[in-house]
């Protein structure tokens, strides 16, 4: 288990190193490999969340679908919030609502809450097991089921297929 | 000729990004309380930053590795920082906007903080 998470961290560090240097000269590869090895040896046991990545074809496909859905939502909600800022009457209707998630894995919850926070208009304030507290700039309903349907479901239905 | 077309598209994307960043800044001034400012300020700017970086990618393709790293870094850190700012302002009882419709967090906040203390 520990070896696996160390290896995952090593791979991530190597990818970052190659992206920064943008070259495959032998010295650069060796320096990167040695540094990544030392860092992953020390910090490997703390990154067990990386183990939850799945590398099946289906997971890969749904990750692409998820990115597409996410960017469409990002653009839509960015324009929405920008319009609210411009309008002289400042049409906001803020509040903190409760929502529920069916996701169990740590990684899936992290991706879900980060996506909710990144799309403007919704902001995850806290999480307590399967309850998410979300600050919503335009509260349409304070009912837990309706809010879940409006905010969480569009991301969750794809994440469920990846992380089950 | 082809090069200059790509450059113009890149420049337009950077300009669009700058407009979104400006709207984010305007939101910081106009919004009534901390939580709404976090909404406008830290996040109306996500699209602005992404558009600027994509535009830059078209103008200077050699920087692709670093630009992709920047996008990933923003994707990971931006939501974490806005979440922590919002939670910390709630902890020190920063007042909410008077027209706030509903605050479901209030009912559970004491219970949640007790739970956190026990975990420490």
ipTM of the complex: 0.75
| Chain A CB contacts of B32 below 8 Å | 90, 92
User: Region B99-106: what's the mean pLDDT?
Assistant: 69
Answer with the residue of higher pLDDT: A94 or B105: A94
How wide is the angle at C-alpha B27 spanned by C-alphas A144 and B38, nearest 5°?
Answer: 50
The pLDDT, as a whole number, for residue B89 is: 86
The pLDDT, as a whole number, for residue A34 is: 92
List, for residues A57-97, the tens digit of each pLDDT value: 777 888 888 888 888 888 888 888 888 888 887 777 788 88
Contact call for residues A98 and A132 (beta carbons, < 8 A): yes
Buried/exposed code over A83-115 (b: 16+ C-beta within 10 A; e: otherwise): ebbeeeeeebebbbbbbebebeeebbbbbbbbb
List, for residues B1-25, the tens digit of each pLDDT value: 567 888 899 999 999 999 888 888 8
How many other CB atoms sit within 10 Å of the CB of residue B9? 14
pLDDT tens per residue across all 164 residues of chain A: 677 778 888 888 888 888 888 777 888 889 989 999 998 888 877 766 666 666 677 778 888 888 888 888 888 888 888 888 888 877 777 888 888 888 877 788 888 888 888 877 788 888 887 788 888 887 777 777 777 777 777 788 888 877 76
CA distance B84 to B42: 12
- Is A139 at the interface with chain B, CB within 8 A? yes
- Is B112 at the interface with chain A, CB within 8 A? yes
The pLDDT, as a whole number, for residue A48 is: 67
Torsion of Cα atoms, B30 then B27 then B86 then B68, to 10°: -170
Q: Minimal CA–CA distance to B96: which of B50, B53, B38, B32?
A: B32
Answer with the residue of higher pLDDT: B37 or A129: B37
* Total number of domains in chain B: 1
List, for residues B52-75, the tens digit of each pLDDT value: 998 998 888 888 888 888 888 888
Distance from CA of B12 to the nearest CA of A (A): 17
- Comparing CB atoms, the residue among B36, B64, B104 nearest residue A92 is B36
Summary mean pLDDT of chain B: 81
- Is B21 at the interface with chain A, CB within 8 A? no
């Amino acid at each position: 288990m520990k070896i696996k998470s160390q290896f995952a961290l090593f791979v991530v560090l190597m990818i970052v190193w190659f992206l920064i240097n943008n070259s495959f000269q032998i010295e650069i590869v060796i320096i990167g490999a040695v540094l990544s090895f030392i860092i992953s040896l020390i910090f490997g046991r703390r990154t067990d969340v990386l183990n939850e990545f799945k590398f099946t074809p289906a997971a890969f496909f749904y990750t692409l679908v998820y990115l597409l859905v996410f960017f469409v939502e990002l653009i839509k909600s960015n324009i929405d919030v920008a319009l609210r800022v411009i309008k002289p009457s400042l049409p906001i209707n803020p509040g903190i609502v409760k929502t529920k998630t069916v996701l169990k894995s740590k990684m899936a919850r992290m991706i879900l809450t980060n996506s909710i926070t990144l799309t403007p208009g919704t902001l995850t304030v806290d999480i307590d097991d399967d309850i998410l507290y979300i600050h919503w700039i335009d509260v349409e309903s304070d009912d837990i089921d309706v809010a879940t349907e409006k905010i969480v479901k569009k991301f969750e239905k794809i994440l469920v297929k990846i992380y089950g | 000729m082809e090069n200059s077309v790509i450059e113009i598209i890149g420049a337009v994307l950077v300009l669009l990004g700058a407009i979104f960043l400006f709207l984010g800044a305007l939101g910081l001034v106009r919004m009534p309380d901390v939580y709404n400012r976090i909404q406008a300020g830290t996040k109306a700017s996500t699209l602005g930053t992404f558009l600027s970086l994509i535009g830059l990618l078209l103008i200077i393709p050699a920087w692709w590795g670093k630009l992709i790293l920047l996008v990933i870094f923003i994707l990971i850190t931006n939501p974490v920082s806005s979440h922590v700012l919002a939670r910390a302002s709630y902890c020190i009882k920063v007042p909410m906007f008077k027209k706030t419709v509903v605050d479901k967090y209030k009912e559970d906040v004491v219970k949640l903080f007790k739970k956190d203390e026990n975990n420490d």
